[in-house]
Amino acid sequence: MNPSALALDYATKVVAGEIVAGRYAVLACQRFLDDLERDWEYRYSHKRADAACVFMQQMPHTKGQWAARGKALEFEPWQCFVECNLFGWIHKDTEKRRFRESYEEVARKNGKSVRLAARGLYMFCADGEYGAEVYSGAGSERQAWEVFRPAREMVRREEELQQDFDIEVNAKNLVILSNGSRFEPIIGKPGDGASPSFYICDEYHEHPDSDQYETMITGMGSREQPLASIITTAGFNLSGPCYAKREDAIKVLEGSVTDETLFTVIYCADEDDEWDSEEALIKANPNLDVSVSREFLLTQRDKARRSASLQTAYKTKHCCLWVGASVAWMNMLAWQRQKRDMRLEDYAGKKAWLGVDLASKKDLAAISILIPDGNDFITFYDFFAPEGAAEDNVKYRNLSDWITFTPGNATDYGYIEERLRELATTLDVQEIAFDPWQAQYLMQRMLAEGMPVCEFPHQVRTMSDPMKEVEALVLDRRLYHNNPVMDWMISNVVTKQDAKENIYPTKAKKDDQKQKIDGVVALIMAMGRYLAAEDAGDFDEFLSNPIGRKA
């Protein structure tokens, strides 16, 4: 079947329930079928739709097994449905394209970058636009190149395409010498001089604002049939520009808002689906078993089932579900399972890494002790608080057997210093990690005594990897503890994930001064320095570096 026939067959089967699809994909297909029956200002041109799809499917794969075999793109029916909609609908009188914007949402690894690269090349050299300007836009340089790089590689590999359209392949753009058309990536907010004929807005959920998108849209005024395509996975910024655009797109699909120039298709699990069901995966991954492996997705699902902090990434990237950024970090059943009766003196002489979180001097401070024990890790904790704080916090009073209270209304750091000296005589302390912002004076005194003090700033770049490692060790039954204060603190931690899937510990209720996570922060610090030592390979060489190393 030709692309238009595949698109029609796909839409018909989705609406009939013969192909499993989410609600919004069904509505997109129903809209297409209904529009074919309407007597109105637009008509569907099989010729225009098929020509665009045929051109795109002549482009070569640029990586993976298909590229190694020299294969060209071959669209699945759902991809034909999308491209035929965009290029097949034209105005009856002007014959200009109907759709000027598209919002497309699909899970990762469903071939969106290579398909958008091919679409960009069609708009660059085969759409008939003199002096075309095609931009692959994103919030970061890395993401902007995700579409432009394969497009550039496609042209580089197709010498006939270069010759037919007089394309010059440059390091950072493609240019048609005869008419000045260009295709290039853009990052962040562009200037006002661009006149886009086609704009690709990749991973819009990562954009902090709508500046780039709006600048591109306003620059299209002089073009006869421009197109702006948003293509994205779901995210967790529910107040960002992408989610707002998504809501507008859904209103069009549902019929509560009319916009005949916006094409929308959203492949995602439905709200009433179980997030870890196979049906949820099928709905969000129309290229399942083609470009994305079912086995891979099921493995990721199983990991997410075990780990609360992995669920956000799984839901957004693989089920296209929009969720809040903050989720519970630790599987508390797994954490409680790792309790063991232990005594610190039984580990005398063992290598240990310490993390110290001083927090506020008027409140709780924590020391975390991390001891590698074969393939396992043993942890102990010390907590300190001023006596005055216990009067206002019933939790402190209930856990008083596990907290050292210092006289007055402020934590006496002398107690912490003395405890660190005791630990240094009992254990083979490799490093004591402090946040320099909290403890500059205390660090200097400890350094003067020859203690192995190390800076560990509380930043995403330093906290993310050791935080993930702590969770993984608990889930693998390799990290042990026995401290009820720590149990309480672990339950208070949520993670906030950024666009690069880094995580950082924070409290579930930021304004709740009675929720504490200081022991968790101290444990992450100790683990961070252990991992740094492990990465160094040779402990002896690592430890011979000057005292006061930075994380």
My answer on whether 363 and 475 are in the same domain is yes
pLDDT tens-place string over residues 340-378: 999 999 999 999 999 999 876 678 899 999 999 999 999
Q: What is the pLDDT of residue 466?
A: 96
The Cα–Cα gap between 367 and 402 comes to: 12
My answer on whether 274 and 342 are in the same domain is no
My answer on whether 138 and 19 are in the same domain is yes
- Report which DSSP code applies to 550: B
My answer on whether 53 and 186 are in the same domain is yes
My answer on whether 361 and 427 are in the same domain is yes
312: in domain: no
My answer on whether 468 and 378 are in the same domain is yes
Enumerate the H helices of 166-307 as residue ranges: 211-218, 241-254, 278-284, 294-306
My answer on whether 490 and 363 are in the same domain is yes
Q: Residues 250, 256, 258, CA angle at the centre, nearest 5°?
A: 85
The Cα–Cα gap between 8 and 150 comes to: 29
512 CB-contact burial (10 Å; exposed 0-12 / middle 13-18 / buried 19+): exposed
CATH number at residue 478: 3.30.420.240
My answer on whether 338 and 294 are in the same domain is no
Domain of 375?
A: 332-543
Is the distance from CB of 511 to CB of 473 less than 8 angstroms? Answer: no
Q: What is the pLDDT of residue 328?
A: 76
My answer on whether 173 and 237 are in the same domain is yes
Q: Which residues of the chain have pLDDT under 50?
A: 538-550
My answer on whether 367 and 405 are in the same domain is yes
Q: What is the pLDDT of residue 498?
A: 76
484: in domain: yes
368: in domain: yes
346: in domain: yes
Taking the alpha carbons of 468, 510, 398, 408 in that order, is the dihedral positive or negative?
Answer: positive
Which of residues 303, 323, 347 is at a domain's end? 303
Q: What is the pLDDT of residue 361?
A: 67
Q: What is the pLDDT of residue 326?
A: 64
- Pairing type for strands 42-44 and 493-496 reads unpaired
State whether residue 350 is helix, strand or coil. Answer: coil
Q: What is the pLDDT of residue 274?
A: 92
Q: What is the pLDDT of residue 549?
A: 45
182: in domain: yes
- Work out how many domains the chain is built from and give that number: 2
My answer on whether 287 and 350 are in the same domain is no
320: in domain: no
318: in domain: no
E strands, 329-375, are 351-357, 365-373
My answer on whether 299 and 336 are in the same domain is no
CATH number at residue 280: 3.40.50.300
The Cα–Cα gap between 46 and 32 comes to: 14
